[in-house]
Structure 1
């Protein structure tokens, strides 16, 4: 089963959310359904547009990568996103 470390953003592309999931399509749907909900970060900031993801074969590697990315500066995160999605287009998984 694949695992994904992913980055979403809000419609204005001003906030980033980093997460992990084993079902990217369903997780994005959850983020969309939670938009505007103040009890979650992604919901509070409307982070439901996928702009970057990485696929892993095991959960521990994906979790470690998520933690690593969360520790990066915004500049470094922006540069990572640009390596695969220079225009920050809103992506949908495979």
Structure 2
């Protein structure tokens, strides 16, 4: 069964890059050595901070798109594996409190 991976790289400027691939090791090496031109090639070095395996390419692509739309705080909660914080940040956004989680009176 073929595997697909959604991954997050932390770039030298502190930003995060989210991608999807069917060969995680090869793709990470391509990013690390600047073989892939684009966002990460101008922000080397990069470090793999998160990956998740899927067996359905469409699920992997959906997950990548979802993560790309998340705030930095949500990405960091995912990277840390803090699923309670991730749920809390999702609830706050849905409730109209914004990504900071602070309620303004």
Q: Report the TM-score when normalising by structure 1.
A: 0.78
Query: 2-side partners of 1:79 and 1:6: how far apart?
Result: 14
After superposition, give the CA deviation of every residue in 1:44-74 in whole Å (9 maximum; x if it has no partner): 1126311100100011100000000000000
- Runs of 4 or more, structure 1, over 2 Å off, are none
Structure 2 residue aligned with 1:54: 52
- Specify which of 40, 43, 47 is matched with residue 41 of structure 2: 43
Aligned residues: 81
Aligned counterparts of 1:83 and 1:77: Cα–Cα separation in 2: 10
Aligned residue for 2:4? 3
Distance in 1 of aligned mates of 2:9 and 2:56? 21
CA contact (8 A) 1:16 1:47 kept: no
- With 60-69 and 42-51 compared, the bigger mean Cα shift is at 42-51
Bigger-Rg structure (1/2): 2
Q: RCO greater where, 1 or 2, for CA within 8 Å and sep 6 or more?
A: 1
CA RMSD of aligned residues (A): 1.9
Q: Name which of structure 1's ranges 44-53 and 70-79 shifts more when overlaid on structure 2.
A: 44-53
